[in-house]
A = this chain, B = another copy of it.
């Protein structure tokens, strides 16, 4: 028998030759990479060749739930989606929840690897061991919620779960997301990878179960987890009650809610307009992922005006930032409508909003003019233009074609010094936390293996006062390199691999958390994991991911932040005057690389570190 928590099977679907094969998951892979993001990264490093076009048939798209997925462990029925990212050209992973991951697991797979490219629009139907390729010619062009409903109707089974792309993915927008229900594997343009393969959707239903290695140990371990969740100061009190949307008020009060393309952080703080109070009059119930007692998703409903009747699952905090703070839009109903539209078109809300904000700043600066926009006024705060741009980008119409691939690609095409307004790292648009007032976030943005992503190494210690592994001051640069390495490894292992929900993470920084999660994983799989083991898995994955990028030509030079952040201090708000110089960043990076055992000049992992992590074969490939 295979380890508990796993099905032991990888499903490989080649869309070019329509071959469908099932192969064993090596137990060493399970032990060393746990699952989810770990599996995606391991398989991508091993199978996607150097220099492969992310939108070519040689790229691979991997859907991988984790060992916890589909078990009785709460808040863990998620999955990672991975591919070489067309937006960043790095290795790319995005996590998502909902109900699709559980079905994938129950259908019998620890991962599905999609290869090649279908000749015509196709969708995949998976029902346990039966896998079929079906025509998606009729589905092409549909919004994501319609696509899901139409597939359910076609299959005459309302209970199948579907992950799909919208028009943005079909049109190869490098900001395109993959949507299951109204949840997104949002970042890094994985929807475009799916679109490039002519793959509209995967519809899945599974009837299997997940074995537990030691039922005797598992039951108390789950109980301990539930107890710890109950004791969490944020999980139920914050995430159940308000969801992430409460973040606007909080991060404005800290002066790090980035605004107007990062030009007005601390200055433009639309708490009254898009904060908790504005949200709460529009609440329309909550939504849960499979096996989640928390229900952090708060639906919002527009009651009057042009968008009356529109609902969104959210907007989540980051979407309030991108469509609200960054664009300067103060009309909450338009932000809700934009959130929904982005999900329907299958566009990442963060990248889309930041790209719109970028275009707005260029327009205000005269770098783009009304000839470029087709007559559209594109000033900050123009909510009508924001909504129109979402459509134009998704269908690559007018100026939307220029913007559809995000800030980096747009800046390259526009020239005229526009790059300095492009708020991205390695092509990935920045999230909400202004690193001038939260330094470790900056180190994480600069170094995370897939561009500026808060979720890969969120500096929770800077915000919530956690003291594990140690206490920090958010304005200091001291020990932030070291902290970032810890956060990245910890989140990777416990969150992105198991695939435990990140919102339960604050708990993971309470003393007993590693033990609780270690007990769970050990009882479930039969593998033993101590805190050190966990951290080692996280470190291994961050190293192999780094190695992927090194092989693609990335060096320390790309571990940086947009120039604006390194040259302009914060002008207003609770973090007024705080800045982050190039020297500050370099100092933190030095510490980060040192902590990681990476070369200070190149940023490459050193051979001995890779060997220590069991990655000698990786060293042989990247360190010639």
Chain A contact residues, CB within 8 Å of chain B:
138-139, 141-143, 145-146, 149-150, 152-154, 158-159, 166-167, 181, 283-285, 287, 299, 301-304, 306, 308-311, 344-345, 391, 394-395, 397
Contacts and interface: CB of A to CB of B under 8 A. Distances in A.
Contact of A159 (B159, B181, B303): B159
A391 B308 contact: yes
Contact of A141 (B145, B284, B394): B284
A304 B308 CA distance: 24
B304 A142 contact: no
Given A141-B303, A149-B145, A285 B395 contact: no
Given A145-B149, A158-B159, A287-B153, A309 B394 contact: yes
B395 A167 contact: no
B299 A138 contact: yes
Given A308-B167, A309-B345, A311-B142, A150 B391 contact: no
Contacts of A301: 138, 141-142
A339 to B, nearest CB: 13
20 contacts: A138-B284, A138-B299, A139-B285, A141-B301, A141-B303, A142-B301, A142-B309, A143-B311, A145-B145, A146-B311, A149-B149, A150-B285, A153-B181, A159-B159, A167-B308, A167-B309, A304-B395, A308-B395, A309-B344, A309-B394
Given A145-B149, A158-B158, A159-B159, A138 B308 contact: no
Q: Nearest 10 CB-CB pairs, A to B?
A: A138-B285, A158-B158, A138-B284, A158-B159, A143-B309, A167-B309, A146-B311, A141-B301, A308-B395, A159-B159
Nearest to A345: B309
Contacts of A287: 153
A384 to B, nearest CB: 12
Nearest to A395: B308
Contacts of A166: 309
Nearest to A152: B158
Contact of A308 (B141, B146, B152, B284): B141
Contacts of A395: 304, 308-309
Nearest to A344: B309
A180 to B, nearest CB: 13
A291 to B, nearest CB: 11
Contacts of A345: 309
Nearest to A394: B309
B153 A284 contact: no
A134 to B, nearest CB: 12
A154 B285 contact: yes
Contacts of A145: 145, 149
Contacts of A284: 138-139, 141-142, 150
B167 A299 contact: no
Residue of A302, A310, A311, A344 with most chain B CB atoms under a 10 A cut-off: A311
Contacts of A158: 152, 158-159
A490 to B, nearest CB: 32
Nearest to A391: B308
A512 B303 CA distance: 54
A205 to B, nearest CB: 10
Contacts of A311: 142-143, 146, 150
A318 to B, nearest CB: 22
A154 B303 CA distance: 21
A306 B391 contact: yes
Contacts of A308: 141, 167, 391, 394-395, 397
Given A139-B285, A143-B311, 10 more contacts: A138-B283, A138-B284, A138-B299, A138-B301, A143-B309, A145-B149, A146-B311, A153-B181, A166-B309, A306-B391
Nearest to A135: B285
A510 B167 CA distance: 47
Contacts of A141: 284, 301-303, 308-309
Interface centre among A308, A310, A394, by most chain B C-beta atoms within 10 angstroms, is: A308
